[in-house]
């Protein structure tokens, strides 16, 4: 067990299902560290799904979830698995078996869930980014509560093979970062998209919304409007 997980005071990292994997020696994510919600399979290791009963009744995974493998192949280093609400069935981040991770940006408040440990670890600066999942807000809500960046991509855009399901018609793979550049780099890898974003063909400006937003926001957006 590495020093980060051994000295974890956030309650963010799993000990019963701990795993660490060194990523490729080269790639767009070379040298970045990440953690992964304990619903993603890692070959040769058990997946806990936030539940001691699930952990007890399921054996080691035969292969690593493609989403995680893609990050490793891109050069990122996995340092551990992170806690989740039991069976990902909540939005608070509180697990009756493993407790609630610390929200460093709002002490005494919950992290939100179910990707609680991933959000906690990123907010505290322990890892560069972390993988979660979002079915009904399980990335978006903890990102908001912890004051970090988080994204839920289009459903079906990232394969969920080797990921414990909650509601397959809604489940998505999402991720957290503190830095927008890292958030984008991880997205390029997970979405298998290295092409520059195409310019919009048409821009609709909601004048009433801009009036509410105020002059500071309008001035920040004006260069885009004028293109």
The token pair at 91 is 């939005």
Q: Which string of DSSP letters, residue by residue, matches 68-102?
A: HHHHHHTT-EEEEEE--SGGG--SS--BTTTB---
The token pair at 214 is 């105020």
What is d(CA 49, CA 24) in angstroms, rounded to the nearest whole number? 27
CB-CB contact of 174 with 145 (8 Å):
no
Which residues are catalytic, by number?
37, 114, 138
The token pair at 146 is 């912890």
Contacts of 102 (CB under 8 A, 6+ apart): 9, 10, 11, 12, 111, 120, 124
Q: Distance between the two ends of the chain, CA-based, in angstroms?
A: 52
SS3 content of the chain, % helix, strand, coil (to 5): 30, 15, 55
Q: Name residue, tokens 């972390």.
A: 130
């Amino acid at each position: 067990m590495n020093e980060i997980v051994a000295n974890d005071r956030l309650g963010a990292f799993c000990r019963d299902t701990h795993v660490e994997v060194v990523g490729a020696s080269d790639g767009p994510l070379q040298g970045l560290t990440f953690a992964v919600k304990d619903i993603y399979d890692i070959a040769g290791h058990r997946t806990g799904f936030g539940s001691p009963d699930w952990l007890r009744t399921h054996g080691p995974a035969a292969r690593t979830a493609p989403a995680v493998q893609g990050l490793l192949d891109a050069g990122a280093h996995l340092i551990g698995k992170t806690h989740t609400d039991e069976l990902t069935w909540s939005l608070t981040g509180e697990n009756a078996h493993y407790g609630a991770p610390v929200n460093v940006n709002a002490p005494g408040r919950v992290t939100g869930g179910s990707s609680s440990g991933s959000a906690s670890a990123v907010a505290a600066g322990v890892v560069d980014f972390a993988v979660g999942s979002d079915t009904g807000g399980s990335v978006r809500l903890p990102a908001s509560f912890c004051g970090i960046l988080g994204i839920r991509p289009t459903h079906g855009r990232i394969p969920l093979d080797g990921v414990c399901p909650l509601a397959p018609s809604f489940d998505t793979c999402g991720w957290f970062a503190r830095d927008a550049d890292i958030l984008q780099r991880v997205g390029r890898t997970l979405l298998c998209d290295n092409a520059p974003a195409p310019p919009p063909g048409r821009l609709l400006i909601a004048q009433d919304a801009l009036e509410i937003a105020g002059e500071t926001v309008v001035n920040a957006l004006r260069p885009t409007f004028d293109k």
